[in-house]
Structure 1
Amino acid sequence: MPRRIMFVQLKTGHGTDRGPSWIGWVDFSKTWKTAYLHGRTLRRATGLGLSDANFYDVETDEEFWVSGPKRDRSDTRYGPGGPRVEDDAADAYRAFLRGAPLPGREHG
């Protein structure tokens, strides 16, 4: 199962880019249509008409934005602060901010 460090933000119940966000490890299915994190199963939301999300929780229907982190730390456009970096992803994320490729993305 592919595993990547990703930026994740909860969209449901929050104004534009004001939901809680974090940087952490996300596991993906072989097809990249399903993501697994924090005990949740998220499905890709293409064609579902979601306003500002690209994944949704299959159990709760909560909407999420999932993307690769940005080196300039501009992941949230209007959020109340930066994302919380999870402990197990902190070293790899700091290396990425210093210029290293993200784990699993060394070749593109």
Structure 2
Amino acid sequence: MAHSIKPKIMYIEYKGDGLTGPGRIGRVTFSKTGDTVYYAGKAFRSLKGNGFKANYFDVATSEPYWISGPKKRGGDSLYATNIATEIDEDVREEYWTEIRKKPELKQQTHT
């Protein structure tokens, strides 16, 4: 599986249960075309603008997801939610120091 687009920290939210769902901040890799995103052993393909409240789907299950770059100010979900976003351990320090510019929070596991 050759990836030519540099891996990125992204926000990944499951949308199969409605407008809001559990989200994570994690490092993803991309296919050469960028149409497929790989994260946590799953492959997600772009809906190319044809999704409803989702922009990718899980290739194996067809379940909808929202995948986007994390926001500098936080609040990464597509819609306001009280569901905490979990931050993967391997990206936590980079997320808090480089993206959010809040290095004092680098031990925090959720947004």
TM-score bracket, normalised by the shorter chain, equals 0.7 to 0.9
**TM-score, normalised on structure 1?**
0.82
Question: Among the aligned pairs, what percent are the same residue?
Answer: 33
The answer to whether residue 7 in structure 2 is matched with residue 6 in structure 1 is no
Over the aligned positions, Cα root-mean-square deviation in angstroms equals 1.7
Larger RCO: 1 or 2 (CA < 8 Å, sep 6+): 1
- Deviation digits for residues 11-58 of structure 1 (CA, Å, limit 9, x no counterpart): 01x221x211000000101211000111111111115x3211111011
Aligned-residue offset at 1:79: 1.8
Number of residue-to-residue matches in the alignment: 97
List aligned pairs for 1:1-108, cutoff 5 A.
1=3, 2-12=6-16, 14-16=17-19, 18-47=20-49, 49-76=50-77, 77-95=79-97, 96-98=99-101
Structure 2: distance between partners of 1:39 and 1:29: 14
Runs (4+) of structure 1 exceeding 4 A deviation are none
**TM-score, normalised on structure 2?**
0.80
Gaps of 5+ in 2: 103-111
